[in-house]
Amino acid sequence: MSGARVFSGMQPTGEAHLGNYLGALRQWVRLQDEADCIYCIVDYHAITLEYEPARLPERVLDLAVSFLAAGLNPDRCTIFVQSDVPEHTELAWILNTVASVGELERMTQYKDKSAGMESVPAGVLNYPILQAADILLYRADRVPVGEDQAQHLELTREIARRWNRRFGEFFPEPQALISDAGRIRGLDGQAKMSKSRGNTVGMLDEPAEIWARVRTAVTDPQRVRRSDPGRPEVCNVFALHRFFTAAEPLATIERQCRAAEIGCVDCKRLLSEGIVRAFEPMRERAAEYRAQPARVREILGDGAARCRALAQETMREVRERMGLRSWRERTAAGG
């Protein structure tokens, strides 16, 4: 994949969780050595639903720490904050003019997020257009995302095709790199694990906090008493075990669960220990970065400088092809 440009983003809507790690960050880290990777903290996206303005700056910095803790290395990839590059919003407006309301209304995430809302903010509908702008601004070829973003990526490709047809071939059609982790379910055992839903285990939670959360996880709803046999295939705790427990102990847990030889609390205890172990090095790295916020700010500043230059280059071409901004020179030619 050498020569390829990779772009992906994450919202500073709360702490990064296991779903973000397994669905996205893990791949981001792997890709650093294979391609030119640009990773963005998408704060313009994070203001789509109600949020606390006073807390947003600290959430941005926290997410940057999570990126670095997960293993992103600023010498091998670019990390920046979306609102440091205002061209994202400019291109989003432009792409609004080639996307249709119908296709936006068909987005599953839109249906989920807007369901039950008395008044739906236009941003909730238009959100995938900003996402398309994020990706196309850097003319990215590959976009590593979790399974929940596949539909938005398909829309981005369609928008790129449509723009290219009208204004000339320019944007590559970005390919989604969907993580094989699938859609990680939250502790409620139902919905997708989501920062905004509070059904998460944080990637950087302390061991006591991990246990406090895992304890509350919903298991097989039909297993009421400890003596009832469990069904690992429907149990979300078992689903999570797959990522944190080696093959052999995993097979033992499965057998013991079906035979009611192990209770859900014991099973959760093992899961919690596995999660604690897996994220130990990241907690340590996070502590190092938290102790040097100036360094984190510098990394984000360097990233923004690089991305601003790339974004300005793209926008110059986009404006030129669309007959925008060049009216002064064009009308002056020949008197």
DSSP H stretches of helix in 10-168: 18-20, 26-31, 43-46, 56-70, 87-96, 101-105, 108-114, 122-137, 150-167
The b/e string for 166-195 (b: 16+ C-beta within 10 A; e otherwise) is: ebeeebbebebbbbebeebbbbebeebbbb
We find the least distance from the C-beta atom of residue 174 to ligand ATP, in angstroms, to be 13
Spatial neighbors of 101 by CB under 8 A, at least 6 apart, are: 125
For ligand ATP, give the closer residue by CB, 193 or 257.
193
Question: Per rule CB under 6 A, is residue 219 in the interface with ligand ATP?
Answer: no
We find the least distance from the C-beta atom of residue 234 to ligand ATP, in angstroms, to be 18
List the interface residues with ligand ATP, window 26-55 (CB under 6 A): none
For ligand ATP, give the closer residue by CB, 38 or 318.
38
**74 with 68: CB under 8 angstroms?**
yes
Question: Per rule CB under 6 A, is residue 143 in the interface with ligand ATP?
Answer: no
Token digits of residue 23: 């669905």
Q: Quick one: angle between helices 87-96 and 122-137, nearest 10? A: 110
Spatial neighbors of 152 by CB under 8 A, at least 6 apart, are: 107, 109, 128, 131, 132
We find the least distance from the C-beta atom of residue 64 to ligand ATP, in angstroms, to be 14
Question: Per rule CB under 6 A, is residue 142 in the interface with ligand ATP?
Answer: no
Q: Give all strands (DSSP E) within the chain, no chain letters.
A: 5-10, 36-41, 78-81, 142-145, 175-178
Question: Per rule CB under 6 A, is residue 220 in the interface with ligand ATP?
Answer: no
For ligand ATP, give the closer residue by CB, 136 or 145.
145
Chain position whose Cβ is nearest to ligand ATP: 23
Instruction: Please count the residues of this chain forming the interface with ligand ATP, following the rule CB under 6 A.
Output: 19
Question: Per rule CB under 6 A, is residue 23 in the interface with ligand ATP?
Answer: yes
* Segment interacting with ligand ATP, rule: CB under 6 A, options 32-40, 123-131, 191-199, 207-215: 191-199
Question: Mask: binding to ligand ATP, 161-190, rule CB under 6 A, as x and -?
Answer: --------------------x-xx------
- The DSSP-derived string for 104-135 is HHT-HHHHHHHTT-SS--HHHHHHHHHHHHHH
> Largest Cα–Cα distance of the chain, in whole Å?
91
Determine the residue type at 313: E
We find the least distance from the C-beta atom of residue 26 to ligand ATP, in angstroms, to be 10
Residues identified as active-site: 113, 192, 195
Single residue of 5, 6, 7, 11 touching ligand ATP by CB under 6 A: 11
Single residue of 81, 129, 145, 275 touching ligand ATP by CB under 6 A: 145
Q: What DSSP character marks residue 216?
A: T
Single residue of 6, 7, 10, 130 touching ligand ATP by CB under 6 A: 10
Single residue of 194, 199, 245, 272 touching ligand ATP by CB under 6 A: 194
Give the residues across from 36 on adjacent strands. Answer: 5
Q: What DSSP character marks residue 51?
A: -
**Which is it for strands 142-145 and 78-81: parallel, antiparallel or unpaired?**
unpaired
For ligand ATP, give the closer residue by CB, 146 or 263.
146
Distance CA 78, CA 67 (A): 11
For ligand ATP, give the closer residue by CB, 67 or 163.
67
Question: Per rule CB under 6 A, is residue 128 in the interface with ligand ATP?
Answer: no
Question: Per rule CB under 6 A, is residue 215 in the interface with ligand ATP?
Answer: no
For ligand ATP, give the closer residue by CB, 25 or 98.
25
Spatial neighbors of 212 by CB under 8 A, at least 6 apart, are: none
Question: Which residues sit at the interface with ligand ATP, rule CB under 6 A?
Answer: 10-11, 13, 19-20, 23-24, 145-146, 148-149, 181, 183-184, 192-196
